[in-house]
Amino acid sequence: MGKINLLSQETIDKIAAGEVVERPASVAKELIENSIDAGATAISVEIKGGGIEYLRITDNGSGIEKDQIQIAFLRHSTSKIADASDLASVRSLGFRGEALSSISAVSKVELITKTKDSLLGASYVIEGAKEISLTDIGAPNGTTFIVRQLFFNTPARKKFLKSESTEGSYVFDVVEHLALSHPEISFKFLLNGKEKLMTSGNGSLSDTIYQIYGRQIAANVLDIDYEDDKVKLSGFIGQSVIARGNRAFEHFFVNNRYIKSNHLSKACEEGYYGFLMGHQYPFFVINIDFDADVVDVNVHPTKQEVRFEDEAYILELLTKTINNRLRKREDVLEAHIDEPKPVSHATPMQILPEVKEESIRSSTESSEETVKPTRVTEESKAVTIHQEVKPVKMPEPFERDRLEKIKAQVTAQIRNDTPYEKKFAEQNRGGEKYEQISFLQKEAIKEHKIIGQVFDTYWIIEYDKNMYIIDQHAAHEKVLFEKTMARLKNNEMTSQMISPPVIISLAPQDVLLYETYHEAFEKIGFQIASFGGNEIAINGVPGNMLNLDPKSLFMEILADCGNYKSSDSFDMIVERVASMSCKAAVKGNNKLSLPEIKTLVDDLLKLENPYHCPHGRPTMISFSEYELAKKFKRIV
């Protein structure tokens, strides 16, 4: 065992800071919560450089007495509790007394504060846990914290931060959560000198939702209000028309404290069963009020996780309350219904003379779920499926004949030392030996025999003792994606103007995402202009996506942008955005005419890698004649 050392206070502070200060958003959360606990009714948050270089929190709260300032920056100094017994009834957002000590240990902090009873305010500067100055200064009532150069003395921590735009979005999330949980406080958020959010602080949660997310979401929420002797539920839930592709719009608060809980999320989503399609997630802002003695908020340094005394009861109550509220309100999504088609009594296989001429129809259906790609070898050129089939019991005379044939075939195989598959192929070509021509070569394409379409989704093509099955949706996705990428490479992307423009109200996070990736949208053919506030106007869409709903397409692409990493190159982001061109692909259950499928197959086979769609699913599979013969027990 090595020598035991007593750590210095500076080292202790840096270690403690690692538990509380993870990124600029952590700093913002701790300081804003202190402002709320100080009774502030107006809080301003300003960041530059993603909050890494500059973060300022200003409030009109009670302020700090000058003789208390230095104590406030010591570890475990707090005005929220006096001893352990107070933990059972704590209602303030912060109470551990670690925030200021941890923040000052890894950054340069300036504090300006004044109480209403003081004639002068005070300025205190502390850098890396070392005091620089404490002086009197003229200041308004309240407190201002200015945090500069976060992690300036711990570069190992700083290099793990994400890009400035990503870190800035995390700070905005903190402001958003606190504004939703405290509608009685006016919040202002400035990013690089530009105002991004301003709430009125009039106490109305519906007004706060409107000010953060815009009128489209605010107009499609339903209030919930439930109370019994154990718990009170309040807030708003969204109707299905404003559902999103991720959980970014799910907000839980326990006693006005923002928390994260997979169990609560799943309980609420269960309440939407029958109202939302798969892979869609609802919008809701729900506050759960308990007596302090039935919930424990002291289980995690960031206080974003809690424990309930009776969690099962809460989960069931959330599900029932949401489901009952949705059932009390008509929630019909507006849609345009096409002319009903006559019921077809045709057999599953559509033989070519019976296939009707129909146009390829675009759809706004969501793309197939991404799955892991299947590796296709150069030898196979397609995925071959092997399916186990139980043998059929034959009458005894036939069984004897079959066994005799098997014996003769095996004997011939041993004598000739020829692989059985090859011998089978040679026998069925009149005994002539041959070299197989690839399914994709020009000479082979001329010999393709299109048999027909099955289930209005798959096309069957016969070639060289093999049956190829092509998924028309996956194939069309691949063709559109490759064409889009070719146009991008040659700067040939076109835009189709739409009139009137489509106006979209964006949530603040979506505004930040769009501002970060707007060049990628422009490159693939979107033409978008600001429409004031958080609204944008889509004036043009990519030329190959004209038949899709512009709003749905834009919002789905934007939601996907939230998964990008700061290390992703611009070209990689453009490629991912371009992959959304598959939305215009013909879907399954769409009949195609012979000329249409021939064009699609020809386009697919011209590609360098036609075997997988952009999401990795196979575009084609194959069955050899030999394999089919085995299934029907023609050979063994």
What percent of the chain shows pLDDT beyond 70?
67
Question: What was the pLDDT predicted at 367?
Answer: 39
Query: What Rg do the C-alpha atoms of the chain give, in angstroms?
Result: 33
The per-residue pLDDT for 155 is 86
Q: CA 618 to CA 100: how far, in whole Å?
A: 55
pLDDT tens per residue, range 542-596: 876 766 788 888 888 888 777 766 656 667 667 766 676 666 667 666 777 888 8
pLDDT of residue 482: 81
Q: Cis (ω within 30 of 0) for the bond into 373?
A: no
Higher pLDDT residue, 527 or 563?
527
Partners of 349 in the beta sheet?
A: 454
pLDDT at 84: 47
Enumerate domains of the chain plus CATH numbers.
9-201 (3.30.565.10), 214-327 (3.30.230.10), 349-473+612-631 (no CATH), 475-563+570-584 (3.30.1370.100)
User: For residue 51, is pLDDT > 80?
Assistant: yes
Q: What local confidence, expressed as pLDDT, does residue 188 receive?
A: 96
pTM of the complete model:
0.59
Least confident piece of the model among 129-143, 440-454, 512-526? 440-454
Is 621's pLDDT higher than 60? yes
Dihedral angle sign, alpha carbons of residues 200, 206, 208, 210: negative
Q: Which residue has the tokens 């034959």?
A: 394
- In this predicted model, what pLDDT tens digit does every residue of 96-150 receive, in sequence order? 457 888 899 899 999 999 999 999 999 999 999 899 999 999 999 999 999 999 9
What pLDDT score does 609 carry? 66
The model's pLDDT over 212-260, given as tens digits with 9 standing for 90+, comes to: 998 889 999 999 999 988 889 999 999 887 888 888 899 999 888 898 8
Rounded Cα gap, residues 611 and 342, in angstroms: 35
The answer, yes or no, to whether residue 371 has pLDDT greater than 80, is no
Yes or no: say if 474 and 619 are a contact pair by the CB < 8 Å rule: yes
Q: Which pLDDT tens digit goes with each residue over 309-332?
A: 778 888 889 999 998 888 765 443
- Amino acid (1-letter code) at residue 308: F
Q: At what angle do helices 508-524 and 164-181 cross, to 10 degrees?
A: 140
The whole-number average pLDDT for the span 350-358 is 36
